[in-house]
Amino acid sequence: MSIAICVENLVKQYKDVTAVDNISFSVEKGHCFGLLGPNGAGKTTTIEIMEGIIAASAGQVLYQGKEVDASISQQIGIQFQHTALQDFLTVKETLNLFSSFYQQTLEQESLIELCDLGDFLDRDNRLLSGGQRQRLLLALALINDPEIIFLDEPTTGLDPHARRNFWQLIKNIKARNKTIVLTTHYMDEAEQLCDDIVIMDQGRIIESGTPHQLLTKHFHEVFIYLPQSQVPIELVEEQAWKTQGERIEITSVNVEQTLALLMKNNVSLDGLHVKSANLDDLFLHLTGHSLREVQ
């Protein structure tokens, strides 16, 4: 195992607020590593310390065993959560401008193909759609051909179609053996992209591992949903099933036995939905609240 980044006992204190509270983790080379959690969990602060943008109050970040210094800006790529693009420049002019900032750059034709920019190279930055803008910002993060790319909530505000297109771009980059550090509060995004994840809440790490490891560790059951109107209230109370809006949620370790019980009680299976636990369920299990409740 080759470690690209090692974060050791990292702390960031702002007066009376501890934004990052003594966290440690490592990122393997060639992996997509996810920092997950709600807004305010400490993800962006952690990533900005890793990028060398802000200083830690305590602890250190090591790149292949060496501490971060000023030279790191030439070696990494960053897609910030919020980036202002220069008005009155086209996409191609913007690529040329940012290329001038680095000693070494990726061949522009390769960059255009990798980030799928070809259809709007001559468009003014102000006229880009949300998805086009994010693809350009990703290209700017890759322009110096970095080994490590930081993506801070890159799909926030995108529609579902644009998000999935962006996921494919990230997969293509990872296929080049690049190391990606991704912050997100979209758990489905992490399940799609990340080899390893750290879940943060209130500045602390509350769980870490691969998505599969964590779901296997915390869940041994599946969720079965049925319309509330189809399930007798007596059966719901007897089995201690949950009511969620207009649905009944049944937690089951044996789907066949549960379905047999429902049919024995003449419960219609119309609208039946069976779902395995996902990272949203894991976050709720670990914190007592869903990720969507704390945005």
Residue 295 has pLDDT above 50, yes or no: no
Pairing status of strand 222-227 against strand 273-276: antiparallel
Cα–Cα dist 115/123, whole Å: 15
User: Which residue(s) pair with 10 in the sheet?
Assistant: 23
Residue 28 has pLDDT above 70, yes or no: yes
Pairing status of strand 247-252 against strand 222-227: antiparallel
Least confident of 122-126, 165-169, 286-290: 286-290
Q: What is the pLDDT of residue 157?
A: 85
Angle, CA 130 vertex, CA 125 and CA 132 arms, to 5°:
60
Q: What is the pLDDT of residue 294?
A: 47
Residue 293 has pLDDT above 60, yes or no: no
Domain architecture of the chain: domains with CATH: 3-216 (3.40.50.300), 220-276 (no CATH)
First to last CA, the chain: 35
Instruction: Quickly state the pLDDT bin for 1 (edges 50, 70, 90).
Output: low
Q: What is the pTM of this model?
A: 0.84
Cα–Cα dist 10/147, whole Å: 23
Phi/psi for 156 (5° steps) reads -60, 130
**Range 27-49 average pLDDT:** 92
Cα separation values, 195 from 96, 166, 182, 205, 212, Å: 33, 17, 11, 17, 9
User: Which residue(s) pair with 246 in the sheet?
Assistant: none
Type and span of the H or E element at 5:
strand 3-14
User: Which residue(s) pair with 225 in the sheet?
Assistant: 249, 273
CB 189 within 8 A of CB 167: yes
Tens-place pLDDT, residues 205-235: 999 999 999 998 998 889 999 999 999 999 9
Average pLDDT value for the chain: 91
Tens-place pLDDT, residues 130-141: 999 999 999 999
Q: What is the pLDDT of residue 84?
A: 86
Token pair belonging to 89: 């420049």
Q: What is the pLDDT of residue 289?
A: 65
**Range 121-144 average pLDDT:** 94
Instruction: Quickly state the pLDDT bin for 64 (edges 50, 70, 90).
Output: confident
Rounded-to-5 percentages of helix, strand, coil across the chain: 40, 30, 35
Closest alpha carbon to 196 in 184, 185, 212: 212
**Range 188-194 average pLDDT:** 92
Tens-place pLDDT, residues 74-86: 789 999 877 888 8
**Range 241-268 average pLDDT:** 94
CB 39 within 8 A of CB 294: yes
